[in-house]
Chains A and B, each alone.
Chain A
Amino acid sequence: MHQGLGSIALKGSLTLTVSTALLLLGAARSLSAQDVALTGGVIHTADGDVFEGGTVVVRDGKVTAVGNDVTVPRGVPVVDVSGRTIIPGMLDNHSHIGFDVRDVNERSTTFTPRYRIMDVLSPDERYWFNAVDGGVTTIVTGPGSGSVSSGQSAVVKTWGAVWEDRILDPSGGLKIAMGAKRPHTETSMATTSMLRERLIKAQEYQAAQDAWRAGGEEGAPPPTNLDLEVLAGILRGENRIRAHVHSAHDILSLLRLKDDFDFGLTLHHATEAYKVADEIAARNVPVVGVPLFIRIGLVEEVMRAPAYLVEKGITFAFHTDDPVVMSKHQRYNAALAIRYGMAPEDALRALTINPATIAEVDDRVGSIEVGKDADLVVINGPWYELTSRVDLVYVDGRLAFDRATEEGR
Chain B
Amino acid sequence: MIRIASVSRGWALALVFFATAMTPASGQVIAIQGGTVVPVSGPAIEGGTVLLRDGIIAAVGANVDVPGGATIVNATDRYVLPGLIDAMSYYGISGTDLNETSAPSTPQLRAIEAYYPFGAFSDGEAPAAPRSQDLLMGGVTTHYIAPADATVIGGQGAIVKAAAETYDGLIVREPAAIDITLGQRPAGTFSAGNRSPGTRMAVVAHLREQLVRAGEYQQQQDAWRALPEGERGAAPPRDLGMEALALMLSGEIPARIQANRTTEIREALQLAEEFGFRLILDSGVSADQLGDALNEAGVPVVLGPISHPFVSGEEIPDRDEYSNPDERRAARLQGSGVTFAIASFSRSFGSLGPSGSGKWLLLDAALAAGYGLTEAEVLRAVTLSAAEILGVDDRIGSLEVGKDGDVIILDGPPLSVTSWVERVFVDGVEVFVRD
Contact = CB atoms under 8 A, between A and B. Distances in A.
Interface in B350-381: 350, 352-357, 360, 363-364, 366-367, 369-371
A386 B414 CA distance: 11
Given A324-B316, A388-B370, A294 B350 contact: no
B417 A384 contact: yes
Contact of B417 (A329, A386, A407): A386
B360 A297 contact: yes
B363 A386 contact: yes
B418 A338 contact: yes
Contacts of B356: 294-297
A359 to B, nearest CB: 23
Contacts of B371: 389
B305 interface: yes
Given A271-B352, A296-B353, A332 B307 contact: yes
Given A297-B353, A302-B353, A339-B417, A387 B324 contact: no
A299 B353 contact: yes
Contacts of A290: 352
B141 interface: no
B366 A296 contact: no
Contacts of B353: 296-299, 302
Contacts of B363: 294, 336, 386
Q: Of B328, B371, B417, which is in contact with the most chain A CB atoms at under 10 Å from its CB?
A: B417
B414 to A, nearest CB: 10
B346 interface: yes
A117 B328 CA distance: 34
B417 A385 contact: yes
7 closest cross-chain pairs (CB), A and B: A294-B360, A297-B355, A297-B356, A295-B308, A387-B369, A386-B366, A389-B370
Interface string A384-401: 111111000000000000
22 contacts: A130-B324, A295-B305, A295-B308, A295-B356, A296-B353, A296-B355, A296-B356, A297-B352, A297-B355, A299-B354, A323-B316, A323-B319, A326-B308, A329-B307, A336-B363, A385-B417, A386-B417, A387-B369, A387-B370, A387-B415, A387-B416, A407-B328
Interface residues of B, number: 31
A335 interface: yes
Nearest to B356: A297
A319 to B, nearest CB: 14
Interface string A327-338: 001001001101
B316 A336 contact: no
Contact of A339 (B328, B346, B352, B418): B418
A295 B367 CA distance: 13
A385 B352 contact: no
A293 interface: yes
Contacts of B316: 101, 323-324
A299 B348 CA distance: 11
From DSSP, what is the main secondary structure of chain A's interface residues?
Answer: loop
Contact of A338 (B346, B355, B370, B417): B417
A294 B415 CA distance: 15
A326 B418 CA distance: 22
Interface string B366-405: 1101110000000000000000000000000000000000
Nearest to B352: A296
Interface of B: 305, 307-308, 310, 315-317, 319, 324, 328, 346, 350, 352-357, 360, 363-364, 366-367, 369-371, 415-418, 420
Contacts of A384: 417
A294 B366 CA distance: 12
A332 B353 CA distance: 18
Contacts of B416: 385, 387
Interface string A308-335: 0000000000000001111001001001
A299 B360 CA distance: 12
Contacts of A302: 353
B422 to A, nearest CB: 14
B352 A336 contact: no
Nearest to A290: B352
B354 to A, nearest CB: 5
Which of B310, B315, B353, B371 lies at the interface centre, i.e. has the most chain A CB atoms within 10 A of its CB? B353
Contacts of B350: 296-297
B88 to A, nearest CB: 15
Contacts of B317: 323
Nearest to B349: A297
A130 B308 CA distance: 13
A293 B355 CA distance: 11
Contacts of A336: 363, 417
Contacts of A339: 417-418, 420
Contact of B367 (A296, A299, A324, A387): A387
B412 to A, nearest CB: 11
Contacts of A130: 324
Interface string A281-292: 000000000100
A297 B310 CA distance: 14
Contacts of A294: 305, 307-308, 356, 360, 363-364
A295 B307 contact: yes
A407 to B, nearest CB: 7
Given A295-B307, A385-B416, A389-B371, 20 more contacts: A293-B307, A294-B305, A294-B363, A295-B305, A295-B310, A296-B353, A297-B357, A298-B352, A323-B317, A324-B315, A329-B307, A335-B417, A336-B417, A386-B366, A386-B369, A386-B370, A386-B415, A387-B369, A387-B370, A388-B370
A387 B366 CA distance: 6
A204 to B, nearest CB: 38
Contacts of B346: 297
A324 B319 CA distance: 11
Contacts of B324: 130
Nearest to B368: A387
Q: In this complex, which of A294, A297, A323, A386 has the most chain B Cβ atoms within 10 angstroms of its Cβ?
A: A297
A338 B356 CA distance: 18
A380 B328 CA distance: 17
Nearest to B351: A296
A271 B350 CA distance: 15
A408 to B, nearest CB: 11
A323 B310 CA distance: 12
A385 B307 CA distance: 14
Contacts of A332: 307
A271 B353 CA distance: 11
A332 B346 CA distance: 19
A243 B305 CA distance: 31
B195 to A, nearest CB: 26
A407 B329 CA distance: 12
Contacts of B307: 293-295, 326, 329, 332
